[in-house]
Amino acid sequence: MAEITLQGNPIHTNGELPPVGSTAPDFRLVDAELNDRTLADYRGKRKLLNIVPSLDTPVCATSTKKFNEAVAGRDDVVVLIVSADLPFAQSRFCTAEGLENVIPLSMMRDRNFAKDYGVLITDGPLAGITARAVVVLDENDRVVYTQLVPEIAQEPDYDAAIKALG
């Protein structure tokens, strides 16, 4: 279990992020067309998982926009935005913001992704959704970088995450 804060108040996650060097846990998330997506769908690409509580908050929106800009023109990378938002809301957000370099994925069918990646918030007002985190995977799904953002209202370390993509 990890401790983070929400506006300075301690809250907890169910576990820890996968360790650097480990193979990333597989997942089943839902895309904009309501299809199940797994890690294997992105095989052969470097992956940046931008894990956010909800795209309907300013910090989550900002991080999604910044990662969208950072990977423009990179065919070797995929940015997956993972949240508890419904796919309809995720699509609406990405369309309204003109985001074409990120793929939103929803945990609408289950919370196993959050559990397996150690980011499920277990107490406080946000219990049941994810903490803010970034996980970077190489082409073979090995974890090369992680950051559990200590305060939910803070942005992730963009430079470190982008550098980890290579």
Using pLDDT thresholds of 50, 70 and 90, give the confidence band for residue 58. confident
- Across the chain, mean pLDDT equals 94
Which structure tokens are listed for 46?
């470097």
- Provide the CATH number for the domain around residue 99: 3.40.30.10
How far CA 99 is from CA of 42, 62, 65, 137, in Å, comes to 19, 12, 7, 21
Count of domains for the chain: 1
Lowest mean pLDDT among 6-15, 35-44, 87-96, 103-112: 87-96
Which sequence positions are flagged as catalytic? Answer: 60
Q: What is the pTM of this model?
A: 0.93
pLDDT of 86 over the 90 cut: yes
Q: Which residue segment(s) compose the domain that 148 sits in?
A: 3-165
Phi, psi of 34 (to 5 degrees): 70, 25
Using pLDDT thresholds of 50, 70 and 90, give the confidence band for residue 96. confident
pLDDT of 163 over the 90 cut: yes
